[in-house]
Each structure stands twice: as C-alpha cells, then as structure tokens.
Structure 1
Amino acid sequence: MFELNGRIALVSGAGQSVGEGIAKVLARQGASVIVNDLFADRADKVTAAIVEEGNRAVARAFDVTDLDATVESIRSAEAELGGHVDILVNNAGVAEGRVTKPFRELTPDQWAPSIDLNIYGAMNCIKAVIDGMCDSGWGRIVQISSGSARTGQNINVSMYATGKSGIEGFIRHLAAETGQYGVTANIVALGLQANLVDKMPPEVIEKLIASIPIGRLGDPIEIGAFCAYLASNEAAGMTGQTLDFNGGSQTR
C-alpha cells in the first residue's frame, strides 16, 4: 500500500528540514527522487543519504523562481532517470531573502522574496511537469502550505502568508482543471516548523510551542509519510483539498 515504485518525484527545497524528510520517505516508498535545493551542497547531501539507503535520487540545484532554469534542470533530471515527473511536491517556501518584521516596517522591495517563491516558484515547477502528467493520464501535485494562509497571526509572517494564500487558491483551480486527466492536486497546510521559526526569539518560540496540543514542532518524516499517501494510487479520489497537518493547532 502507498507504494511509489516506478514513479519519478520532484521535491523542491529538499536540501533540509521538511523537504529532506519528504524526499527520503518518497524514495523509501520506491520513487526515484529529484532533490532540488537552491544550494548544491544541500541537495548533494540529501541525495547521497538517499542513495546510501539503497534508493534512487539525483540532485539538481536551481532557483524555482527562474522558469528557464527550472525547466532545463527538470528535463536534465528526467533524461537521467529515464522518464517524466509523475509526482511534484512544491515544498520550497521559506525565501532566503525574507525579512520578518511587521508589515508597517517592511519596504516594498522586501515583499517580493516570499511572494515570488511561494507563488511563482510553485507555478514554475507545475508548468514544467503538468503536460507530462496529463498526457500520461496520471500525476500527483502536493503543495506544501501553512495554517498562516488562512489565519491571521501576530508573528511577523504576513508576506509568507500572502504567498501561501495565493498558491492555495491556484491549486484549487488547477485541481478542477486537471482531474479529468488523472492528475490530483492537494494542499498540505503545516503547523509550525523549525525552519520557519528559526529567526524568532526563544521566548516567542516557546510560547508558540506551548499553543500546540502535541507540544512540539512538526516532524519532517511524518510529513513525508503524509505526502507519500497523497502521491499514491490509493489517493486517486482526493483532489482540490486543503489538509491540515499541524499537531492539533487551530488554524481557522
């Protein structure tokens, strides 16, 4: 059950944290994984760990906000793996140039990194793989999002949340357009993760963790297991959904 043998999966932002967990689990379930990251050393490290476990993966370092680089890198990886991408997990979402301040203190040039990555970066990856999925009659798109997309929070993540809100709306429309071709598109809205709160003061992090019923931040392997289900044949009837994976936090 939930086997991904013979599938090719692309995981963006897979060089660390949640993306690393997702890439490793998909590989353990039988998929050949394209490990993307902005930084080559991170992508190489995760790829080496997957191969060491006896599974198949290739590393590709590219910026998903650059459409030409995204398409070129994916085509190169597909040629190496001998097929087209069947599974896309859009995980890249925490921009390198992000600034965590209240909106009133942000300048317009500080809005773009989070919005560009979460909206254009995700759409670029989808654009590069959607035709192959539809033409073959099978595909899985999993968009990693956040409870911040639907709940106002006073933790200085308004631009991150804006990007997530935008891509969630797009995915719902994409699911409606592509369901007839055997392609599903779902959203996994995560609770707090270590990579999102790493720039916050310790006392703020402690307060946030105390508000989570399970009393801890998200576990990348657990998230990977959930993505493996959504990427499987068994999840063929689920599309256009936003699924909360947040340790019991109230996100609405």
Structure 2
Amino acid sequence: MFDLSGRSALVTGAGQNAGAGIARALAAQGASVVVNDLVAERAKTVSDEITASGGRAVPIAFDVTDPDAVRDGVGQARAEFGRHIDILVHNAGIPADFGQGQFRTLDPARWRGPVEINLFGAMHCLSAVLDEMCEAGWGRIVQISSGSARTGSDLGLSLYGAAKSGVEGFIRHISQEVGPFGVTVNTLALGLQTNAAGDATAAIAARIPTRRLGTPEDVGAAVVYLASAEASWMTGQTLNLNGGSVTT
C-alpha cells in the first residue's frame, strides 16, 4: 500500500522543515524525488540524506516565481529520471519578506511577495507538469497551504492568508479540469509546525488538542497518501492537518 515505485516527484521548497519531510517520505515509498529549493546548498543536503538512506533524489535549485526557471528545472528532472513528473508537491510558500505585520502598517511594495510565491508559484509549477500528467493518464498535485487561509487572526498574517486563500481556490478549479485525465489535485492545510519558535508558539501548542506541534514526518505521511494510487478518488479537497486545533 502507498507504493510509489517507478514514480517521479518534484517537491518545491524541500530544503528544510516540512518540505524536507515530504521529500524524505516520498523517497522512502520508492519515488525518485527532485529536491527543489531556492538555496542550492539546502537542496543538496536533503538530497544527499535521501541518497544515503537508499533512496533516489536529485537537487535542483530554482525560484518558483520565475516561470522559465521552473520549466528548465522540470526539464532537468525529466532528463535525470528518464520520465516526466508524476507527483508535484508545491510546498514553497514563504518569501524572503514574509509580509508579516498589521495590514495598515504595511507598505504596498511588500504586498506582492506572498502572492508571487504561493499563487503564481503554484501556477508556474502546475503549468510545467500538467500536460504530461494528463497525457499519461495519471498524476498527483498536492498544494501545501495553511489554516490561515480560512481562519482569521490578529497576528499580522493578512497577506499570507490572502495568498493561501487564493491558491486554495485555484486548486479547487484545477481539480475539476484535470480529473477526467486521471490527475488528482488536493490541498493540505497545515497547522503550527515545529520550525516555529518562541513563547507564543509554546502557548499555542498547549492549546492544541494533541498537545504538540506538527512535524515534517506528519506532513510527509499525509502527502504520501495523497500522492498514492490509493487516493485516486480524493480530489478537489482541502485536508486540515493541525492536531485538532481547527475542526470542520
């Protein structure tokens, strides 16, 4: 069950945190994994870890906000693995300027960063892989999102939440367009993860029903299911992975 042998996967933003956990989990199930990151050294570190553990991985650094770079990276992956990308996990989502702050205090010049990486980044990546998935009659798209897409807060996340809300809507529509071709498209909305730090984080974690933050391993396991053959009837959905902090 959940065997991904013979499949190739591209995970964006996979050089650290949840993205690294996703790449490791997919490789452990037999997929050949492209470890993408904006920082080449991070991508190589995770790729080397996977290879040392007996998996197959290649580091390919590119910026998801650059459509030409995305297509070049996908082409490089095709050459490395000898096949098209079967599984895309668009995890990259936090730009250098996160745009955090109360909206009234934010210079408009800071508005674009979260939208470029989350919404346009997803568009660039999906555009680069969907044709070949549809032609092959099989494909998996997993978009990583956040609870902030649907739950408001006063933590200065309006730009990030707006970008995640936008990409969730995009994903729902794409699922309807490509479903007849054997391609599923889903969103995994994460709660607070272990890469966050600080007293406020500890206080929030204490209020989570499971009494802990999420881990890269938690995220990787959920993505493996969505990427598997067994998830062929799951599409157009947003799944919450948050330890019960928000229920639906």
Q: The TM-score by the shorter chain falls in which range?
A: over 0.9
Give 1:203 shift.
2.7
Q: CA deviation at 1:251?
A: 5.7
Counterpart of 1:47? Answer: 47
The residue aligned with 1:16 is 16
SS for the counterpart of 1:120 is helix
Taking the aligned partners of 2:206 and 2:158, their CA distance within structure 1 comes to 22
- Pick one of 209, 218, 222 that aligns with 1:222: 218
Aligned to 2:95: 95
Which residue of 1 is the match for residue 65 of structure 2? 65
TM-score by length of 1: 0.96
Cα shift at 1:97: 1.8
Cα displacement string for residues 14-35 of structure 1 (whole angstroms, at most 9, x for unaligned residues): 0000000000000000000000
1:156 aligns with 2:156: yes
- Of 231-240 and 202-211, more deviation after overlay is shown by 202-211
Length, aligned pairs only: 248
Runs of 4+ aligned residues of structure 1 deviating over 6 Å after TM superposition are none
CA distance in 1, matches of 2:207, 2:62: 36
- Displacement of 1:238: 0.6
Please report the TM-score for the alignment, with normalisation by the length of structure 2: 0.97
Corresponding residue SS for 1:165: helix
- Looking at structure 2, the residues matched to 152 and 77 of structure 1 have their Cα atoms a distance apart, in angstroms, of 38
Alignment correspondent of 2:191: 191
State the partner residue of 1:203.
199
The counterpart of 2:227, out of the listed 217, 226, 231, is 231
What residue ranges of structure 2 are gaps of 5+ in the alignment?
A: none
AA aligned opposite 1:188: L
* Preserved contact between residue 147 and residue 189 of structure 1 (Cα < 8 Å): yes
Distance 1:103 1:211 in 2: 26
Whole-angstrom CA distance in 1 between matches of 2:51 and 2:23: 11
Give the share of equivalent positions with the same residue, in percent. Answer: 55
Question: Residue 33 of structure 1 aligns with which residue?
Answer: 33
Query: CA offset at residue 207 of structure 1?
Result: 2.3
After superposition, the CA RMSD in angstroms is 1.1
Q: In structure 1, how many angstroms separate the alpha carbons of the residues matched to 2:176 and 2:31?
A: 26
Quote the Cα distance in structure 2 between the aligned partners of 1:96 and 1:212: 28
Q: Secondary structure at the match of 1:4?
A: coil
Q: Give deviations 1:222-241, integer Å, cap 9, x for gaps.
A: 21011001101000001000
Distance 1:115 1:193 in 2: 21
